[in-house]
Chain A
Amino acid sequence: MAEINNFGAVIAHALELEQTLAALAEAAGDEARAADSRRRARELTRIRQEAISEMILEPLSGIEEISLDGLDPEEAVRRIAAFYENAAEHMSIPDVARALRRLARRCR
């Protein structure tokens, strides 16, 4: 999978993942998990809007895109949590790193 090098791309990829997870969970009849995913997506939108600063937009490295292909909702949410943890570790904006760790904790 491709490397993600900037803040906006991290958030955009995370939003795609949450959208995929919500669809998977709905298809599996797991409404609670789908609702959790949508809540995290709203939080991601808030982060994109509020935690950004044009003076700290340093290029990122060490963050890879992930795929949820072939996973069931439970596996998918674990994979997403790992993505948040990894992205937080490589994020140069401290507010965003904290928020991503929070999202990882909220994955269930």
Chain B
Amino acid sequence: MTTKVPNFINGEWVTSKTTQWQDVHNPATGEVLAQVPFSTSEEVDAAIAAAQEAFEDWRRTPPLTRARILFRFRDLMEEHFEDLARSVTLENGKTLDEARGEIRRTIENVETAAGIPSLMLGTYAEDISVGIDEEAIRQPLGVCTMFAPFNFPAMVPMWFVPYALATGNTYVLKPSERTPLTQNKLAELLVEAGVPEGVYNIVHGSADVARQLIEDPRVKAVSFVGSTPVAKEVYRLAAAAGKRVQCQGGAKNMLVVMPDASLQRTVPAIITSAFGNAGQRCLAGSAVLAVGDIHKPLVEQLVERAATLRVGNGMDEQTQMGPVITPQAKARIIGYIERGVEQGARLVLDGRGVHVPGGEDGNFIGPTIFDDVTPDMDIAQDEIFGPVLSVIPVPDLEAAIATIERSRYGNMACIFTDSGRAAREFKYRVPAGNIGINIGVAAPIAFFPFGGMKDSFFGDLHGQGQDAVDFFTHKKVVITRWF
């Protein structure tokens, strides 16, 4: 019998009473791993009520005590490191190395949030007027929620959850319905670490669960990471309901390669950026802007290296690229490859026919590279979210920057060059939230905000670090005069 994924409400693991269940598949084999519920309205309500009930005690728990729970949570994640990484690979398909990297980053966020006694300090000024003092203190918001994407089942929720809990908020998480298993494992560890009943809750489901969480007046803050259309909608609904909200959307990240770049160092970085996680990450480099004469040797070397990547089941240590998440995603990506060909791009590496022994039921696509792409083509403009790299020849840095400026997205942009001047110009002018200089995946570490501009981010405060602390706290000002 298939395992039914339970919700976690008020400290209890509860099987949903819903009649709607969805299979969770291993993307590498097609095997059904479990069934996830589309939880009922009553179950969502119970999770919010539990979080609301737990809030008053939790906010009065000293930050040091909350931090100790996070320290224990961190130790438990280290202890269960391999198990968590394998869980990510199993439900998401990424390679074990990628999953280990994800768990490392998950832990780093918990470590950063455990510094809350310092991060949450307020400010104080004497004599703002004669005999009058002023202070600003931080207070938690209440019940907060987050809707997670499938591509980083462990890490992305932890851009928010540890900071929310550390600052004294309570939480209701809705994991991705495609990858719900790892978050349940993390919740087990959080309970073992000592988080009190009701402080942290998980309700599985889809859009209906999210909508109810957004609309419920007891929920004070909403975080989202996913596609741009959904990010916009979540932002619109949450803002209309008067919530604090931060939504990270899609991306079309461009990597500029200048004529003076070292191809020996640049090509592996681009390969990792474009094909890591099978291209399913919001920091995937999906278009290369090849400046001037570097175009031809760059394409030759990219094709040569990408063609040797070993595609397969992520559980095999030798695998360098896993499958995409679903057959539907694979079909969509193939559709983009077909459109690229129709629109006149030159397909120099075709991943459609990739053969993975034993992976006949897996959602595999090999690395795919288009050359001579123009900025008006769909493959140059849309987020494909798969292992497809488009190379766009441009004459100079000005043209490269202009191409990036025209994109509707602004998540990440990178430049590969030996020129400090070119790098500075790029950093200064490019409208993207995360800039890489000779880096292919400019992923901010836990104590920096995870940026994003234009259609890649809606809100002002980002996830991770001090931004997350700001997001999850009110700043209350107190002005005092004693007679």
Residues of A that sit less than 8 Å from B by CB:
4-9, 12, 48-50, 52-59, 92
B332, CB-defined interface residue at 8 Å? no
Query: Chain B residues with Cβ under 8 A from A4's Cβ?
Result: 318
Q: Tell me the residues in window 64-102 of chain B with beta carbons closer than 8 Å to chain A beta carbons.
A: 78, 81-82, 95-98, 100-102
Which secondary structure dominates where chain B touches chain A? helix
Which A residues touch B440, using CB under 8 A?
A: 55, 58
In the assembled complex, which residues on chain B have CB atoms less than 8 Å from the CB atom of A7? 97
Contact A49 B309 (CB under 8 A): no
* Complex contact B318–A59 (CB within 8 A): no
Q: B31 CB to closest chain A CB, in angstroms?
A: 22
Interface 0/1 of B274-287, CB less than 8 Å to A: 00100000010000
Neighbouring A residues of B272 by C-beta, 8 Å: 55-59
Contacting pair A49 B100 (CB below 8 A): yes
When the two chains form their complex, are residues B104 and A57 in contact, meaning their CB atoms are under 8 A apart?
no
A50 partner residues in chain B, CB cutoff 8 A = 104
Is there an interface contact between A6 and B439, defined as CB atoms closer than 8 Å?
no
Shortest CB distance B416–A (Å) = 13
Partner of A12, one of B95, B268, B283, B317: B317
Bound form: Cα–Cα A75–B102 in Å? 38
Closest to B78 in A: A49
Q: A5-B310, A55-B283, A57-B276 are in contact. List 12 more A-B contacts (CB 8 A).
A: A5-B318, A5-B320, A6-B318, A49-B78, A49-B81, A50-B104, A52-B97, A53-B105, A54-B101, A57-B98, A58-B271, A59-B272
We find that the number of chain B residues with CB closer than 8 angstroms to chain A is 30
Smallest Cβ-Cβ distance to A10: which chain B residue: B317
Q: Ordered nearest first, which 3 A-B pairs have the shortest CB separation?
A: A54-B101, A58-B268, A55-B441
| Residue of B78, B268, B276, B317 touching A54 (CB-CB under 8 A) | B276
B residues near A (Cβ < 8 Å) are: 78, 81-82, 95-98, 100-102, 104-105, 268-269, 271-272, 276, 283, 305, 308-310, 317-318, 320, 439-443
Given known A-B contacts A5-B310, A6-B320, A8-B95, A53 and B101 have beta carbons under 8 A apart: yes
Complex Cα spacing A56 to B445, Å:
13
Query: B268 to A59, Cβ gap below 8 A?
Result: yes
CA distance in complex: A57, B94 (Å): 12
Chain A nearest Cβ from B349, distance in angstroms: 15
Considering the chains assembled together, what is the distance between the CA atoms of A58 and B268 in angstroms? 5
In the assembled complex, the Cα of A6 lies from the Cα of B318 at a distance in Å of: 7
A59 engages B100 (CB within 8 Å) = no
Known: A56-B272, A58-B271, A92-B268. A9 touches B318 (CB 8 A): yes
- How many angstroms from the CA of A21 to the CA of B101 in the assembled complex? 29
Residues of chain A with a CB closer than 8 A to B268's CB: 58-59, 92
Q: B269 contacts A57, CB within 8 Å?
A: no
Q: How far is the CB of B306 from chain A (nearest CB, A)?
A: 9
Kindly report which residue of chain A lies nearest to residue B269, judged by CB atoms.
Answer: A58
A54 close to B439 (CB less than 8 A)? no
Write out the residue numbers on chain B whose beta carbons fall within 8 Å of the beta carbon of A48: 100
24 contacts between A and B (CB under 8 A): A5-B318, A5-B320, A6-B95, A6-B320, A7-B97, A8-B97, A9-B317, A48-B100, A49-B81, A52-B101, A52-B104, A53-B104, A54-B101, A54-B102, A54-B105, A55-B101, A55-B442, A56-B441, A57-B272, A57-B276, A58-B272, A58-B440, A59-B271, A59-B320
